[in-house]
Amino acid sequence: MVTAAQPAEPASPRPAPAATSSAPAPAPIRTDVRRVFPVRAGNVDYHPTHGGYPGTDLFADCGEPVVAVTDGVVLEVSRVDRFDRRGPLGPNNGGLSVSLLGDDGVRYYGSHLSAITAGVDAGVRVRAGQQLGKVGRTGNANNVCHLHFGLSPKCTGKNDWWIRRGVVWPAPYLNSWRKGGNRSPVAEVTAWQRKHGCPTSPGRSAAGG
């Protein structure tokens, strides 16, 4: 006896595949990094404090080598001095500058350079002690040869000059590195970010470096 075919049960819908991100996974933070003093010269002077916000100005002759403090990847490079006293103040105050994301997760920033080494571009990997540029007086350096130096978290990694210029005082770390020590700013920078996050505007202060 022939019977009519029973209608097939509808297939259960397959679960959609989990969404994946095309962004590369962040590099693991290293704790074994080596750090060096950012200016390779015998005659360097600096103050423990800085006007307006945490940072340090390292005074040395124009042309002295500025080097990478530690192993890492270049985040931002400014090869053109766009500073204009008529404004806007802040974004272009540093003149020629380089920021580096160290393998320890800290952003190291130097500005007022007279030149930037060929091949030092965003995304390029550098090693501790590798020359990034030369001490200068570009930007709002007031015609005084020096390197403005700042420590901060990565945050956006670009265009956040009010963070990049420095959020913790560098002098204690510079004192260590100058003597061949390896004092780490990681804990202090991490604590600052945990407390403040990544502010999206400079707030009341318009001074930059």
pLDDT digits (tens, 9 = 90+) for 23-81: 444 557 887 899 999 999 999 999 988 888 999 999 999 999 999 999 999 999 999 99
Residue 14 in any domain: the answer is no
Residue 5 in any domain: the answer is no
Residue 37 in any domain: the answer is no
CATH number at residue 176: 2.70.70.10
Count of domains observed in the chain: 1
Residue 135 in any domain: the answer is yes
pLDDT at 179: 97
pTM of the model: 0.85
Residue 81 in any domain: the answer is yes
Domain that holds residue 81: 45-193
Residue 127 in any domain: the answer is yes
Is 168:189 a contact under the CB 8 Å cutoff? yes
Residue 201 in any domain: the answer is no
- Beta strands 72-78 and 106-113 are unpaired
Mean per-residue pLDDT over the chain, rounded: 88
pLDDT digits (tens, 9 = 90+) for 142-201: 999 999 999 999 999 999 999 999 999 999 999 999 999 999 999 999 999 999 999 999
pLDDT digits (tens, 9 = 90+) for 144-155: 999 999 999 999
Bridge partners, 151 (sequence order): 108
Residue 128 in any domain: the answer is yes
